[in-house]
Amino acid sequence: MPKPPANAARSKRAGSQLTPEAIIEASLRIAARGSEDAFTVRRLGEELGADPTAIYRHFRDKDDLLLSVADRTLGEVLDSIPEGLDWKGRIRALAAGSLEVALRYPVVGSTMASRTTRRPNEFRVVELILGAVREAGLDGAEAAVHYRMVGDSLLAFVGQRAAYLLFDPDVRAADESSWNREYRMVDPEAFPNITGLSTELAEVTEIQIFEVRVEALITAIEQRAAELRGA
């Protein structure tokens, strides 16, 4: 009987040894390199040295894999949050961790801005935010609405920043330079506010925007809790 090619034997062995954990780890490695094809079976097969079809033994389809990988990244966010923080500290730490992890795996962060994993770590994030808003003094429908306000706002910002990293570097450079070029050249009579703040606009950083946004969320919760206590 002819001996099978060495590479075929290797693929067969790798495929038989695959686990969901190994596939998720491979997806994260690809995603961390800034690749947009972290969830194609072809690319994963290359990364794992296995027959790409072996991946379907562990995940129903590409979307099932994506949701599992995304839930793993939520676990990384949760692991970054120190113990013993008050409700404001937990929201700030969740926000900072979410941004850091989304920028580490931009294809995951950008995709999950409009998805829900329906998996354990997502439930833990929801529990954390609900616990924070209830500790702040909100409950019932108020707690539910303000949880969504926090969660959706964080997802929107970190998803936007993650998606931005997937653009070609030249495209990003052109966008970033616009504050020092095109915006400084507008007609001052037609755009007096832009002209008057052209220097300040150019100096704004993404982290400043993010921090102000997070503090605005916290302030909104505080103010609503105070209103309800007053009523």
pLDDT digits 0-9 by tens, 126-181: 999 999 999 999 999 999 999 999 999 999 999 999 999 999 999 999 999 999 99
Domain boundaries, the chain: 1-59, 71-230
Model confidence pLDDT, tens digit, residues 91-132: 999 999 999 999 999 999 999 999 999 999 999 999 999 999
**Separation CA 99–CA 96 (nearest Å):** 5
CATH number of the 71-230 domain: 1.10.357.10
